[in-house]
Structure 1
Amino acid sequence: MFAGLRVNEAGHLEIGGCDTVELAEKYGTPLYVMDETIIRNNCRAYKEAINKYYDGYGMVLYASKAFCTTAICRIMEQEGLGLDVVSGGELYTAIKAGFPTERIYFHGNNKTIDEIRMGIEYNVGRFVVDNETELLNIEKIAAEKNRKVKILFRVKPGIDAHTHQFIKTGQIDSKFGVALENGEAHAFVEKAAGMEHIELVGVHCHIGSQIFELEPFGLAAEVMVNFIAEIRDRFGIQLSELNLGGGVGIKYTEKDSPIEYDRFVETISKTVKRICNTKKLGRIYILMEPGRSIVAPAGITLYRVGNVKDIKGVRKYVSVDGGMSDNPRYALYNAEYTALLANKPDSPKTETVTIAGKCCESGDIIAKDVKMPVTEPGDIVAVLATGAYNYSMAMNYNRIGKPPVVLVKDGKDRLIVRRETYDDIIRHDLIPDDL
């Protein structure tokens, strides 16, 4: 059984002290359920590791793209984390939640003028600048507002993380950041240093997501600290911040072997300390941006089985009342999941089935050829480790409403996102007068 889950006396799957079958009856399905205790414990694990291995000289920034709601922003604020946002919508969510904007780092490879203006007006702590065009736009808007804006800039360190090609971001052929190999990064520093309303304070990199090896993270830290030393020696600029992004993988299936958060922080801390000492750089403030690894293990999604279709000698389909509209990750990445029956979690998994969604797409699959117990219409399917990039990527394809989100802790359930209604789906529709 995954962390935070157990079988209760009724023989049902339990999360955060709450019976999942009862949750399905109370809120309906599909339903996202998030365990608050696991979220908070994961936040604390990262913070404690920074205290242990880097004397607390750093900050954990929650990558809000993984799962962004006002409630989750409030939890991150309470846990003392910063926030990584990548759009005006994520920034607005944080602001409405009362998150302190000085702890917000504003990312994105193509920030609009309005988003840049919004970030400056709300005094975000740092812009993580992706390219020269953005740099020029920030300088112009900051000048108009007579502000001095602190920035990091995103560097592609040339590290090939062993992960899915769509979530690799550190190699030269990437839409993100500026490269070291061709001199882009050096030219960026030179340009930023000459701007009156820009203060260049550090660099950022992110090599990819769902990574299960320590070596790429250590290599990225080594490349980036050496680059900071080179900037000092070549331009006389002492950068004080190093943001090493996120990317730590999590357990979706039994074959996954995630890195311990403690070892991840230890690896990058030792590397940074060693090179800073060798290059006489002094102390560099370290930032990291875990998202998936904080919230994914805390979430499950509950579905109700509608029909079971056994195509003899071909495949057995178990169709549920959700699908790619609430979890497009299989369609995007062939993502794998662990599933079980919430109403009989201890039943032996004797059948190989494909869990299919209700969307009008052949590729609408939740899990393909997975082992499950004998499944019948009305059973409640629980798909595990869905706390990241499920609600965030949910959509209204086929005009299906997005599911609600329930936060559970110590046997108490609280609704943090309500279920979309049909009226919600058509709320922006207009019929012109001449139709």
Structure 2
Amino acid sequence: MRSNRPGGPHWLREPADPNALVDHLWSRTATKTDGVLAVGGVPLPELVREHGSPAYVLDEADFRARARAFRDAFSDYDVYYAGKAFLCTTVARWLAEDGLSLDVCSGGELAVAERAGFPMERVGFHGNNKTLGELERAVELGVGRVIVDSFDEIERLAAVTTELGRTTGVLVRVTAGVEAHTHEYIATAHEDQKFGFSIAGGDALEAARRVLAAPGLRLLGLHSHIGSQIFDTSGFEVAARRVLALHARIATELDVVMPEMDLGGGFGIAYTTQDDPSDPETLATGMSEIVEHECRALGIDRPRLSIEPGRAIVGPSMCTVYEVGTVKEVALDGGARRSYVSVDGGMSDNIRTALYDADYSATLASRASTSPAALARVVGKHCEAGDIVVKDEFLPGDVRPGDLVAVPGTGAYCRSMASNYNHALRPPVIGVRDGKTFTVLRRETEADLLATDVGIS
């Protein structure tokens, strides 16, 4: 596996030109002219003058190109976009138009799909604790497949289908005992975690048996997901071997050949220059070779495969633009110095640095600078020492209040995990295309913030 970068500033290298744009970290339409960053043909200073800051900037052309690249590379698969990365009605409509399927994992995400008019037969419903109401809604809407995650859920879903007189396709989520080389909280195929049925412990086989016996449930196949921010296919090899072995065992012992198998997602993106993700074509070739090899060894036909990219589509398609409010220089051990560049957002619009120790990059977006690069830390305005957006980056040494700083790769798990911490207002998502802007999600207002506060009539 292409390893993740080591943490901390020791891996940083001072850039030859702090004004330069590292192209592979940004969406494909991002350019810099005289120090001014433009996305989708829209200079970010103009976007901020019209829409304010902070703001997420969504590059429509880039998003749709990445979605179609996965669709085309995995042409004999079903490609489910993982809505948890970022979902809104606009994105759901793009996906529907471009022929992808959609994975949701809550009633709220399902409501977005319904509002967008997304074809329900192309929706998969994830989650380890779906409520009775969520399952009822999924069955009523005709969701194409429900990924079951516990014996309780199998029983609950069977009761719903019986009451409604419907039949629902089911995948059984399994844990293959493979731990991706990633952060503990986003590695999901080892045994000691909340997702799935254990293959090694026998629960996965028993789950398939119970689905087959349940009225109204149609067993479609097995589902495996090994983690997130994965850079190549090596981690999938052991998982595929174990899941396909179970697939074959179910055919032999339970006398049913399941038509499908979902290999999950978790494909990584470049957050810094140290990241080297694989492209969709390489991933497709590698994963298909793994499955075909294992199927030949087991003497079974290859099931219809599906994958679930989310971050790999939307992550690079969005950046966040902030305005600098204060700059403070502090001394480090050994005589070095670092600038703390405080911006008008922070952990309320990007919790990943605090939650996962994630690394990001940044660039001065509003002007050129002739100042030498200096080590900086981009921090937010919240009342937390851990409110860090970019831990270590070289920015021009003359960054000052009023400048705009942009952070690439914020499309996945930033707006979708945004909060009102310190009663902050969540930023808008502004789409850009062919030199024009359009609002995807509007900025929250104080009226939004106070709407649920019913303490005073």
Q: For 1:368-398, what per-residue CA distance to the aligned partner results, in whole angstroms no more than 9, with x for missing partners?
A: 2321112100000000111111100100011
Q: Considering only aligned residues, what root-mean-square deviation do their CA atoms show, in Å?
A: 1.5
Shift in Å, 1:213: 3.0
Counterpart in the other structure of 1:338: 361
Report if the CA contact (8 A) 2:205-2:246 is conserved.
no
Q: Does 1:19 align with 2:43?
A: yes
Conservation of the 8 A alpha-carbon contact between 2:35 and 2:364: no
Q: Which residue of 1 aligns with 2:443?
A: 419
- Which of 404, 410, 429 is matched with 2:428 structurally? 404
1:67 aligns with 2:86: yes
Q: Secondary structure at 2:112's aligned position in 1?
A: helix
Alignment correspondent of 1:199 = 218
From 29, 50, 59, the equivalent of 2:74 is 50
SS at match of 1:187: helix
Alignment of 1:121-160 (within 5 A): 121-160=140-179
**CA distance in 1: counterparts of 2:277 and 2:184, whole angstroms:** 19
- Does the 8 A contact of 2:107 with 2:134 survive in 1? yes
* d(CA) in 1 for partners of 2:372, 2:434: 29
CA contact (8 A) 1:343 1:379 kept: yes
Q: Give the aligned residue type for 2:308.
A: E
Deviations 1:387-424 (A, max 9, x none): 11110010001111100001112222111110000000
Measure, in 1, the Cα distance between the counterparts of 2:392 and 2:361.
11
SS in 2 for 1:124: coil
Amino acid at match of 1:371: F
The 8 Å contact of residues 261 and 305 in structure 2, kept in 1 or not, is answered as: yes
CA distance in 1, matches of 2:153, 2:351: 30
Deviation of 1:8 (Å) = 4.6
Task: Measure how far apart 1:361 and its partner are.
Answer: 0.9
CA contact (8 A) 2:161 2:215 kept: no
Instruction: For residue 413 of structure 1, give the secondary structure of its aligned residue in structure 2.
Output: strand
* Structure 1 position 355 matched with structure 2 position 362: no
C-alpha displacement at 1:42, in angstroms? Answer: 1.0
| TM-score normalised per structure 2 | 0.91
Q: Residue 87 of structure 1: CA displacement?
A: 0.1
Q: Contact (CA 8 Å) 1:126, 1:151: kept in 2 or not?
A: yes
Cα deviation, 1:192-250, whole Å, max 9, x if unaligned, reads 11112111111101000001232102322222222211111121111111001101110
* Partners of 1:13 and 1:345 within 8 A in 2: no
Question: C-alpha displacement at 1:355, in angstroms?
Answer: 0.9
Aligned equivalent of 1:216: 235
Match among 102, 109, 125 for residue 128 of structure 2: 109
1:339-377 deviations in Å (ceiling 9; x for gaps): 011013676661111111011111111012321112100
Contact 1:156-1:170 at 8 Å conserved across structures: yes
Contact 1:5 1:13 in 2 (8 A): no
Residues in 2 aligned to 1:115 and 1:18: alpha-carbon distance in whole angstroms: 40
In the alignment, the residues of structure 1 paired with residue 371 and residue 136 of structure 2 have an alpha-carbon distance, to the nearest angstrom, of 57
User: Aligned AA for 2:62?
Assistant: I
DSSP-derived class of the 1:153 partner: strand
Q: 1:7·1:345 contact (CA, 8 Å) conserved in 2?
A: no
Q: Secondary structure of the residue that 1:65 maps to in structure 2?
A: coil
Q: Note closer, same or farther for the CA distance 1:137–1:236 as it changes in structure 2 (3 Å cut).
A: same
Structure 2 SS opposite 1:414: strand
Letter in 2 for 1:14: A
Amino acid at match of 1:59: D
Once the 2 structures are TM-superposed, how far is the Cα of residue 280 of structure 1 from its aligned partner? 3.7
Q: For the Cα contact (< 8 Å) 1:407–1:415, is it kept in 2?
A: yes
How far apart are the structure 2 equivalents of 1:345 and 1:91?
44
Determine which of 379, 387, 403 is the counterpart of 2:403.
379
Which amino acid is the alignment partner of residue 279 of structure 2? E
Matched, 1:254 2:278: no
Q: Percent identity?
A: 41
- Give the letter for the 2:433 counterpart: K
Whole-angstrom distance in 1 between the partners of 2:293 and 2:312: 27
State the secondary structure of the residue aligned to 2:358: coil
Query: 2:390 is matched with which residue?
Result: 367
| Equivalent in the alignment of 1:431 | 455
Q: What is the CA-CA distance between 1:259 and the residue it aligns to?
A: 1.5
- Structure 1 residue 261, shift from structure 2 partner: 1.5
Given candidates 312, 329, 340, the residue that maps to 1:293 is 312
> Do 2:56 and 2:321's aligned partners in 1 also have CA atoms closer than 8 Å?
yes
Q: Is the 8 A contact 2:338 2:374 kept in 1?
A: no
Quote the Cα distance in structure 1 between the aligned partners of 2:240 and 2:49: 48
* Distance in structure 1 (CA, Å) of the matches to 2:121 and 2:220: 15
Residues 1:185 and 2:204 are matched in the alignment = yes
Which residue identity lines up with residue 91 of structure 1 in the other structure? L
Please give the secondary structure, in 1, of the residue aligned with 2:177: coil
Number of residue pairs matched by the alignment: 428
Shift of 1:15: 1.1
- SS of alignment partner, residue 76 of structure 1: helix
Aligned residue type for 2:357: N
Other structure's SS at 2:316 match? helix
- Structure-1 separation of matches of 2:455 and 2:135: 34
| Whole-angstrom distance in 1 between the partners of 2:312 and 2:180 | 17
| 1:83 positional shift | 0.3
Structure 2 residue identity aligned to 1:217: F
> In structure 1, what is the Cα distance between the partners aligned to 2:370 and 2:83?
36
The residue type paired with residue 407 of structure 1 is: G
Taking the aligned partners of 2:370 and 2:283, their CA distance within structure 1 comes to 36
Query: Displacement of 1:2 after TM fit?
Result: 2.4
Q: Distance in 2 between matches of 1:369 and 1:268?
A: 35
The one-letter amino acid paired with 2:158 is: E
Distance in structure 2 (CA, Å) of the matches to 1:432 and 1:121: 39
Question: Offset of 1:432 from its aligned partner?
Answer: 5.7
